[in-house]
Amino acid sequence: MTHDATAPHAGAHPDARLFGLATFLVADGMTFAGFFAAYLTFRAVNPLPPGSSYELELALPTLNTVLLLLSSYTFHRAGRNLLRDDRAGCRTWLLLTALLGGAFLAGQMVEYFSLPFGLTDNLFASTFYALTGFHGLHVTLGVILILIVWLQSRQGGRVSAATPFGLEAAELYWHFVDGIWVVLYGILYLL
Amino acid sequence: MTVATPAETDLQRPSLQPEGWLRYFSFSLDHKVIGIQYLVTGFVFYLIGGALAGVIRTELVSPMADFVSRETYNEVLTLHGTVMIFLWIVPVVNGAFGNYLIPFYVGARDMAFPRLNAVAFWMIPPAGILLISSHFLTGSAQAGWTAYPPLSITTPAAAQVVWIISVLLLGGSSIFGAINFIATVLKMRRPGLELMNLPMFCWAMLGTSILVVLSTPVLAGALILLSFDIIAHTGFFNPALGGNAVVYQHLFWFYSHPAVYIMVLPAFGLVSEILPVHARKPLFGYTTMVYSIMGIVFLGLIVWAHHMFTSGTPPWMRLFFTIATSFIAVPTGIKFFNWLATLWGGRIALNSAMLFSCAFIVNFVFGGITGITLAQVPFDIHVHDTYYVVGHFHYVVYGGTVFVIFSSIYHWYPKFTGRLLNEDLGRLHFLLTFLGFNLCFAPHHWLGLNGMPRRVAEYDPQFTFWNQVSSVGALLMALSTLPFLVNVLWSLFRGRLAGDNPWNALTPEWLTSSPPPVENWPGEAPLVEHPYGYGIPPGHLDVGVTTGQELWTGARR
């Protein structure tokens, strides 16, 4: 039911939205954890067919990692600017974050097209595309969220220093996606 | 200085929500409406799943596949399992009672996220319709509710994919619900209400929701990979393409073992609410109950591979999972003895709610003991994939949870409707259910020990007699639904008026009108610090007062 102004608890309603989002991210993280566990088990017990290997080109993914970590920092700056009521600065940092996210996705595409294997070539190939693809979907959603927050943070929009929830939620999500990438980069590319 | 206070009373409330019976078919945000939506939807699916069970038991009356074909039998058993677990028990025991009761218990006017709550419910009917209509459109899945590859990869693909989509929707609904429960219990408590003052059902739902959040996503991930195997011909779980079918089993059971606790922990919580009320005694061992629930949550997450003792699991894994599984008997045993101690010396009112709850204790102990036997590797290898497992599982989930669901309906029906259910019909319902259930499932243990495999339409003629006994039991269970349905529908209009608190209960949902107003209490929510304070001499306790505050200041006089 809608909480109307006459209800005794009006205004005292605790805001659990960020907490709820964090709980959801735990669930989302468990999906990744399942994928990671499956991948590591495959790697430990299922030998690849002859002629295929786990080796991957490292330069582009490493650049991508740097871009994504940088974008976490720029998002953080956007949040700080919003709380200081510097709307213009906040929006600039937001756009920069979205650009970095877009660059990451572009880099991912370039990598996909340059890889010597396709989705069904072998177990490693399938797992590689499933993991990076699932993460890429998360990044795509994140970029969309950032652009929405960017729109909402304009003068008179619903994201402001007094009501920063939209930005805080997108930021929490973005840091989560970056954190997942670091693990993914470690076990998929470096291991 | 004078302060002008704005007149609050004559503000016209904008009403966007439908009123009356229509709200049960709407995107209502009221947790009580959503709870009833879950309950009724779930019960419809229970009838469908029950009809499917009827097909199974009819087929098994004779050793030959003469009632339905083998393929149809496979479809029916797959649908039966999926419908009963994902569309009846999980939504009802979590969604229905959780949504209805938790906001009352924490002293809130609604759940933390009412809109998410409605979304979670409305994911269920489409998923259910998708699952069941698949039977008529593409033929339904044939790989059982476990959908093990390579079986699920080689059976008809369209059906299996529809099954996966449906289960993904239901899993999403379950996760959204769990996020809501966790946030509501932890963040929405009325000021002054401590965690250790909460009714036990809150703890049960908190534990259940933690399990849902941690384990359901893993199943979702496994099913997404499985759908890739089916649609894109990747080889994650397909040994023919270099994949690993056992990894699917690990991921599947990482969810599906906790799923048993997702189905049974809320039932523990509900029983812990019902027993003290009808025995007029405080819940015994509140603190140990809380720690047992959390112990079950922790252990429930690390025992999954005991379902896979015949899947080539290495010896160290067998050893670890046997020991961990056996440990679950400790917290469960604590709860069992706490319930007995709650009943001990109480003034027990043996009404329908109490009968079902007491039968739950009996059935569940039996299901628990067979569970411990199944955790022992040598025994498990002997009875793996036999009817012993079917018997054990139904003792836990039907004898455990479904009995509690019925008990809860008898207990809370007056709260839902303001009218009491008919006791005579209720006892008839109980008698038929209890007899039918035990007649149906007890023989399964003997059948399994003697080697009758499950999930097969045909069997060795030596098993005919006990299968027929079991089918008679199933018939009784089917008949038992009739007095219940008549009772529920008749009492809705003609039942004895219950008043606000027919059981003289002390938990907060009874300290308001029946049925409750839209935001649960006309005034401030009561602060109930002792939800189980029964046994205080009746003269000292005025259960007629409307708030817990008054109740307790009165009692301590």
The per-residue pLDDT for range B138-147, each reduced to its tens digit, is 889 999 999 9
Residue B209, in any domain of the structure: yes
- Say what percent of chain B tops pLDDT 90: 83
Centroid of chain to Cα B107: 23
Nearest Cβ partner for B242 among A27, A33, A123: A123
- Rounded CA separation B293/B288 (Å): 9
Sort out which chain A residues have CB atoms less than 8 A from B192's CB and list them.
none
Q: What is the pLDDT of residues B248-289, one digit of tens each?
A: 999 999 999 999 999 999 999 999 999 999 999 999 999 999
Q: What pLDDT is attached to residue B483?
A: 97
Distance from CA of A30 to the nearest CA of B (A): 6
Q: What six digits make up the tokens of B114?
A: 């009412």
- Rounded CA separation A126/A119 (Å): 5
If we measure between CA atoms, which residue out of B327, B339, B263 comes closest to residue B295?
B327
Sort out which chain A residues have CB atoms less than 8 A from B168's CB and list them.
none
Residue B1, in any domain of the structure: no
Q: What is the pLDDT of residues B363-420, one digit of tens each?
A: 999 999 999 999 999 999 999 999 999 999 999 999 999 999 999 999 999 999 999 9
Query: A17 and chain B: CB distance < 8 Å anywhere?
Result: yes
Residue B542 has pLDDT above 90, yes or no: no
Q: Map tokens 């939504």 to a residue.
A: B91
Is the ipTM higher than 0.90? The answer is yes
Residue B19, in any domain of the structure: no
Do B48 and B132 meet the contact criterion of CB atoms below 8 Å apart?
yes
Residue B455, in any domain of the structure: yes
Give the containing element (helix H, strand E) for B302: none
CB neighbour list of residue B304: distance below 8 Å, 6 or more residues apart: B250, B253, B254, B256, B257, B258, B321
Residue B437 has pLDDT above 70, yes or no: yes
Structure confidence at residue B533 as a pLDDT band (50, 70, 90): confident
Bridge partners, B497 (sequence order): B419
Q: What pLDDT is attached to residue B550?
A: 52
If one counts the domains in chain B, the total is 1
Sort out which chain A residues have CB atoms less than 8 A from B8's CB and list them.
5-6
> Nearest residue of B to residue A9 by CA position?
B524
Q: Are the beta carbons of B244 and A26 separated by less than 8 Å?
A: no
Distances (CA, A) of A135 to A36, A54, B248: 12, 19, 21
In terms of phi and psi (left: phi > 0; alpha: psi -120 to 50; beta: otherwise), the region of B242 is left
Residue B220 has pLDDT above 60, yes or no: yes
In terms of phi and psi (left: phi > 0; alpha: psi -120 to 50; beta: otherwise), the region of B30 is beta
Structure confidence at residue B15 as a pLDDT band (50, 70, 90): low
Sort out which chain A residues have CB atoms less than 8 A from B180's CB and list them.
20
Query: A148 and chain B: CB distance < 8 Å anywhere?
Result: no
- Rounded CA separation B74/B80 (Å): 10
Instruction: Pinpoint the alpha helices (H) of B376-451.
Output: 377-383, 387-396, 403-417, 423-449
Q: Is the pTM of this model over 0.90?
A: yes
Nearest Cβ partner for B217 among A7, A34, A130: A34
Nearest Cβ partner for A34 among B178, B221, B235: B221
Q: What six digits make up the tokens of B375?
A: 């955790």
Query: A48 and chain B: CB distance < 8 Å anywhere?
Result: yes
Distance from CA of B18 to the nearest CA of A (A): 11
Q: Is the peptide bond before A47 cis (omega within 30 degrees of 0)?
A: no
Residue B462, in any domain of the structure: yes
Q: Are the beta carbons of A34 and B222 separated by less than 8 Å?
A: yes
Q: What six digits make up the tokens of A140?
A: 């795509």
Q: Are the beta carbons of A37 and B113 separated by less than 8 Å?
A: no
Query: A133 and chain B: CB distance < 8 Å anywhere?
Result: no
Residue B164 has pLDDT above 80, yes or no: yes
Q: Map tokens 């015994």 to a residue.
A: B284
- Rounded CA separation A6/A26 (Å): 36
Distance from CA of A17 to the nearest CA of B (A): 8
* Burial (Cβ within 10 Å: 0-12, 13-18, ≥19) of residue B213: buried
Return the sign of the alpha-carbon dihedral for residues B20, B25, B28, B33. positive
Q: Map tokens 């922790």 to a residue.
A: B298
Q: What pLDDT is attached to residue B139?
A: 87
Q: Are the beta carbons of B183 and A23 separated by less than 8 Å?
A: yes
If we measure between CA atoms, which residue out of B180, B229, B228, B280 comes closest to residue B506?
B280
Residue B299 structural domain: 27-555
Q: What pLDDT is attached to residue B518?
A: 86
Residue B17, in any domain of the structure: no
Nearest Cβ partner for A120 among B184, B214, B233: B233
Nearest Cβ partner for A23 among B109, B182, B242: B182
Nearest Cβ partner for B183 among A19, A120, A127: A19
Residue B290, in any domain of the structure: yes
Q: What is the pLDDT of residues B449-482, one digit of tens each?
A: 999 999 999 999 999 999 999 999 999 999 999 9
Please report, for the domain that includes residue B214, its CATH number: 1.20.210.10
For the residues B300-304, what does the mean pLDDT come to? 95
Residue B526, in any domain of the structure: yes
All structural domains of chain A: 17-44+60-190 (1.20.120.80)
Q: Are the beta carbons of B518 and A5 separated by less than 8 Å?
A: no
Instruction: Show pLDDT as tens, one digit a residue, over chain A (191 residues).
Output: 444 444 444 445 678 999 999 999 999 999 999 999 999 999 999 888 888 888 888 999 999 999 999 999 999 999 999 999 999 999 999 999 999 999 999 999 999 999 999 999 999 999 999 999 999 999 999 999 999 999 999 988 899 999 999 999 999 999 999 999 999 999 999 98
Q: Are the beta carbons of A35 and B9 separated by less than 8 Å?
A: no
- Rounded CA separation A27/B218 (Å): 9
Q: What six digits make up the tokens of B90?
A: 């999980």
Q: Are the beta carbons of B180 and A9 separated by less than 8 Å?
A: no
If we measure between CA atoms, which residue out of B403, B393, B410, B423 comes closest to residue B362?
B403
Structure confidence at residue B539 as a pLDDT band (50, 70, 90): low
Sort out which chain A residues have CB atoms less than 8 A from B29's CB and list them.
1-2
If we measure between CA atoms, which residue out of B177, B190, B36 comes closest to residue B511?
B190
